[in-house]
Structures are given as C-alpha cells and as structure tokens.
Homo-oligomer: A and B are copies of this chain.
Amino acid sequence: MADRDESQKKIEEYRACIDSLDEQIVDLLNKRAEQSLAIRELKPSAQMGLYDPRREEEILERLDTLNDGPMYGDDLREIYRTILKVMKEIRA
C-alpha cells in the first residue's frame, strides 16, 4: 500500500511537470503559427506558391539533427506532420 501511494504521488509530480511543459509547448506553437501566417501573407509579393513541399521536406529532415531522444525519429516526424498540416491550413 505504501508502495502504491508513493508511486501515485510520483505520478502526480510527473504530471505537474508535463502540465508545465504543455504550457511552454502551446506558447511556442502559437509563436510558430504567427510566423507561418506572416510568411503566408508575404508569399504573393515574393512570387512564391503558397505550398512549398521542399521547405516542408527540409523541416522534416532537420528534425533528425535536433532529436536527442527519447523520441524516435518516426515519432517526431508523426507529430510534425500534424503540426505542418495545421500550420498550412490555419485561419488568420
């Protein structure tokens, strides 16, 4: 029982840490969305198409160099594919 209580207490602590990480992640994702919106606005005058598959590939490839684990490259790419999809479709 003491063991169970101890483990539950530790889980609560780790969850509080995750909550704090989520605050920072949400903040950074919104900052990233701001930059994406600013780029989208500039693309017509830069004579660039709205969708740039080469840039998307560049971002996905760069993830491997940034990744120190414990996530595997596949895990991170799965998350980033959703991030890039959302950023592409985001409403101003």
Contact = CB atoms under 8 A, between A and B. Distances in A.
Interface of A: 3-4, 6-8, 10-11, 14-15, 17-19, 21-39, 42-43, 45-48, 55, 59, 62-63, 66-72, 75-76, 78-79, 81-83, 85-86, 89-92
Given A62-B19, A75-B90, A39 B26 contact: no
Report the 4 A-B pairs with minimum CB-CB distance, sorted nearest first: A7-B46, A82-B82, A7-B45, A26-B66
A56 to B, nearest CB: 12
A85 B71 CA distance: 13
Contacts of A3: 45
Contacts of A14: 35, 38-39, 42
